[in-house]
Structure 1
Amino acid sequence: MQSAQSHCNRSFPISLFSLILASLTLSSPTHAEIFSSQYHDYKVETIATGLENPWAMAFLPNGDALVTERAGRLRILRDGNIVEQPVSGLPDLKVGGQGGLMDIILHPEFSDNRQLFLSYAHQNSEGYTTRVARAHYENRKLSDVKVIFDALPRSDSTRHYAGRLAFDREGYLYVPVGDRGEKDRAQDISDDAGGVHRITTDGEPAPGNPFLDDPDASDTLFTYGNRNIQGIARHPETGAIWTHEHGPRGGDEINILEASTNYGWPEITHGIGYSGLPITDRTEAPGMAQPLHYWDPSIAPSGMAFYTGEVFPQWQGDVFVGALKFQKVVRLRINDAKDVVEEEDLLTDMDHRIRAVTQGPAGNIWLLTDAPDGHIMKITAP
C-alpha cells in the first residue's frame, strides 16, 4: 500500500490525482442496460446518482436541466454531471413526511423572461400546506421570488400535498392539491384541498374558472374530488390536461380534467382503505366522473408524459407513467375513443421507484428514482 501511494506522489500531486479521479467517476454513467419491448429495443443509462429523493426536472434552453430534490435543494445537471453547488435563493419550505421541494416548471416564455415556478410544502403557525412560488432564474440563482398560491386552510397533516404543475395552451397554470390525508375535504368546494386549481402566472384566478361566481367556492378551483394527483401532462394534440392520482389500496386513476367536474373521491372509488375495510360500497354515482383508466391493485403512479419524440417513432402518442410501488414504467396506448388498447410494463427488473417521467428535448425519456440515493436515468435507442 505504501509503495503504491509513493508511486502516485512521484507522478503528480495526490490532490490533483483525486480531483481527476472524481471527475472521471462523475462523467461516466454507472451502467447501461439493453431491454426489449413490444415495439422497440431501448437502452437505459444511469446518468447521475447521489440525489436525495429527486422529484422533478425541467430542461433549459442551453441544454442544462434543473432537478428538484425533495430534501430542499435545486440542482443543475450539466453535460451529464450534477453541479456540486445547488441553486441559491429557494423560498422558505418545509421538508418532512411526504413534503419538501416538489415540482418545477418553466414559464412558457422562459427564454424571454427567465421565470420558473416551484411547488413545495410550507409550514407556519397554522400548519402545513402546498405552496407555489414564481422566481427569476439566472446564473445558478433564483431572485424576485414571489408566492403566488397557498392552499387553504392549512392542516397538521404532512401527507398528500400533490403539487405537480402544468400549463395549458392559454398559459394558465394548473396546481393540484391533495386531500392532505383528510378525505372528506375533497368534496368541499370552499376548501382548496382535494382539487385542481387554475391560476394566472401572477396567482390570480384564471378567467373562466367554473366557480368564480359562487361565493361559497374557491375562485381558483377548477376540479374537485381528487385524492392525491402525482402526474399531470398536456395532451400534445387536444391540449387537454390529463392527470393521474393515487388511490388508497387500489383505485389509482387516470383522468382528463374538465371544468367543475367532481372526480368522486371519497364518495366513489375502485380502491379500499389501507386497513382492508371498504371506504364506500360505490364505484360510480350520478354527477361524478368515471376514470379513463384505473389500476387495482395500486401501482402508486408518479410522473406522467406523452411521448412525441423521434427516437422511438412507434411510441409516439403513448402515455408513460412511473410507478413507485411496483417499481416500473407503464406505457399506455389510448385510442380516439379514450379506451386503453395497450398496456405494457417496462423496467420491471431494475428495482427502482420511479418518481418522475419527462421527455427530453432530443426525444429521449428521462426518469428520476425516489430514494435517498436517487438516480437520473435516460431511456434512449441502443
Structure 2
Amino acid sequence: MKLFFAPAVLLSAIILLSCSSNDSHNIKDPVGPSADTTATGTTEITAQTIYSDLSNPWGMVWLPDGRLLVTERAGEILVFKDDKFTGQKLTGVPKVFNHGQGGLMDIKLHPDYATNGWIYITYSKPVEGGATTAVARFKLNGTTITNLTDIFTAKPYLTADFHFGSRVVFDKDKYLFVSVGERGTQPKVQQLDNDHGKIHRLNDDGSIPSGNPFENTAGAHKSIWTLGHRNPQGLVYDAENNRIWEVEHGPKGGDELNLIEKGKNYGWPKTSYGINYDGTVLTPNKELPGIENPKHHWVPSIATCGLSIVTSDKYPGWKGNLLVGALALMHINRITLDGTNYKSEERLLQNKGRFRYIAQSPDGYLYAISEGPGALLKLIPSK
C-alpha cells in the first residue's frame, strides 16, 4: 500500500485494500484497483486524524445524541461530538488501578439504553491485596456519572498488574459477556473455582442466569461460560449469525482468534502455538483432545487488542469482516471468514500506531484508536 500525507492535522493515508490473499505487503498502485482484486472488490479509504492527544485509549462508544465517549486507561472518559473533542470529560469515574496493564478499559451501552440509560465499563479495581477485573454500570446526567455500581469483580483478588482482559459484549438475549485475563496464574485457568482466564455470562445487573454450563458443577463459579484463556482483549458479538468471536494474546507467538461456544476449553496453558518469553518450551502440545483449537493463530504475535465486525455498506467487500487491533506489529488486521473458518487477512495502516480498538459508528463509519501516537482516526471510504 502507498500512504500519502496531507498537510495540517489530516493524516491522509490513501490505501488500496485488496481482499485476495494473506500477503498484505504488496505495493499497490494508488490510482486504480489492484490487479489481484477478487469478487469482493477493493476499497480505497482515507484515514483522517480526528484527535491526536489521546493517552493510552482503550474503548469507545456512541450515545444516541451523537456524542462519542472514549476511555483512557488512567481513568478519563473523553467526550467528542461531530468529530471534534468537546473539551469535556465525564466526572465521577471510579478510581482505577492505573499500574502496569491496569486501568480503565472497555465501555458499552446496554442494548436498551434508549429506555434504561445504562452504560457499562470494565476496569482494574483497586482492592486489598492488589487489583481485579471489574465491571460497573452507570447512568449519565449531562457529563456526570450517576448510579455507579460494580456488578462483577473477578475473584480471587491478585497482586499481578497485568492480563486483566477485558471486554464486554451483549448478545441477542441481552446477556452480558465479559472476558477476564489469567493474571499470570496459569494452573488456575483450567480450574473452575476462580474467575481468571475465563469468559463469563451474566444478566445485565450482574446476577447469574440459568443455563450456564457449570451451574451444576460442585465448586465451580457459576458465571463461567468458557475457560482456558490467557489474556482476551477482544470480544465481539456477530448479531447476524448469533456468534461471539474473541482474540487473545499468546505468549511469545500464539495469539489466537477463537469462536466462543458454551462450556468449551480453549487450552491455555495446556496447549499453545507460542513459547515462553525466554525461548524455552511452554508446552509440547499445540492441540489436545477436548481442547477447542483457535480458528487462526499468529506467529510471531501481532499483540491482538480489540475486535469488531463490519456491518456497514460503506466499505465495499468488507461486510462481515473482522477488524483486530495489533499492538506489537502496529496495524489494523482485517480478517475475512468462510462461515466460521478463517479465510485470509490484510494488514492496514502499518506502523501508524499501536491500535487498541476499531468501532463502527451509528452512521456506518469506522473509527480507530491508537497509542504511540495516541490518536482517534476516522476511516473514510472514497466514492
Give the Å deviation of 1:299: 0.3
C-alpha RMSD over aligned residues: 1.2
* Runs of 5+ unmatched residues, structure 2: 1-7, 19-41
Q: C-alpha distance in 2, partners of 1:257/1:211?
A: 16
CA contact (8 A) 1:321 1:329 kept: yes
Give the Å deviation of 1:34: 1.3
Q: 2:93 aligns with which of 75, 90, 95?
A: 90
| Pair 1:340-2:320 in alignment | no
Give the Å deviation of 1:349: 4.2
| Pair 1:146-2:149 in alignment | yes
| Pair 1:311-2:291 in alignment | no
Deviation by residue 1:145-171 (Cα, 9 ceiling, x = unmatched) = 111000000111010000111101110
Q: C-alpha distance in 1, partners of 2:129/2:209?
A: 27
Give the Å deviation of 1:302: 0.8
Q: C-alpha distance in 2, partners of 1:175/1:341?
A: 27
Residue of structure 1 equivalent to 2:138: 135
CA contact (8 A) 2:74 2:96 kept: no
Give the Å deviation of 1:29: 4.1
CA contact (8 A) 2:247 2:256 kept: yes
| Pair 1:294-2:297 in alignment | yes
Q: C-alpha distance in 2, partners of 1:102/1:29?
A: 27
Residue of structure 2 equivalent to 1:378: 378
Deviation by residue 1:81-137 (Cα, 9 ceiling, x = unmatched) = 222231011123211110100000001011111110010001122321001111012
Give the Å deviation of 1:66: 0.6
| Pair 1:113-2:116 in alignment | yes
- Greater Rg, structure 1 or structure 2? 1
Residue of structure 1 equivalent to 2:17: 37
Deviation by residue 1:262-321 (Cα, 9 ceiling, x = unmatched) = 100000000001111111000111111100111111000111111110111211111111
CA contact (8 A) 1:171 1:200 kept: yes
CA contact (8 A) 2:160 2:183 kept: yes
Q: Which amino acid letter does the alignment assign opposite residue 252 of structure 1?
A: D
Q: C-alpha distance in 2, partners of 1:114/1:293?
A: 37
Deviation by residue 1:35-74 (Cα, 9 ceiling, x = unmatched) = 1111111110000111111100001111111110001101
Residue of structure 1 equivalent to 2:367: 366
Q: C-alpha distance in 2, partners of 1:285/1:161?
A: 26
Q: C-alpha distance in 2, partners of 1:33/1:258?
A: 38
Give the Å deviation of 1:195: 0.3
Residue of structure 1 equivalent to 2:355: 354
Q: C-alpha distance in 2, partners of 1:49/1:32?
A: 14
Q: C-alpha distance in 1, partners of 2:304/2:344?
A: 17
Residue of structure 2 equivalent to 1:191: 194
Further displaced range: 76-85 or 191-200:
76-85
Q: C-alpha distance in 1, partners of 2:346/2:244?
A: 22
Q: C-alpha distance in 2, partners of 1:343/1:163?
A: 24
Q: TM-score, normalised by structure 1?
A: 0.90
Secondary structure at the aligned position of 1:188 is classed as coil
* Count of matched residue positions in the alignment of Structure 1 and Structure 2: 352
CA contact (8 A) 1:236 1:308 kept: no
Deviation by residue 1:317-352 (Cα, 9 ceiling, x = unmatched) = 11111100000011111112x3322211111142x0
* Runs of 5+ unmatched residues, structure 1: 1-27
CA contact (8 A) 1:244 1:253 kept: yes
Give the Å deviation of 1:31: 2.8
Q: C-alpha distance in 1, partners of 2:260/2:212?
A: 13
Secondary structure at the aligned position of 1:112 is classed as helix
Secondary structure at the aligned position of 2:188 is classed as helix
Q: C-alpha distance in 2, partners of 1:267/1:381?
A: 43
Amino-acid identity (%): 36
Further displaced range: 99-108 or 80-89:
80-89
Q: C-alpha distance in 2, partners of 1:258/1:349?
A: 34
Q: C-alpha distance in 2, partners of 1:207/1:32?
A: 50
Q: 2:65 aligns with which of 38, 57, 62?
A: 62
Deviation by residue 1:9-45 (Cα, 9 ceiling, x = unmatched) = xxxxxxxxxxxxxxxxxxx844322111111111100
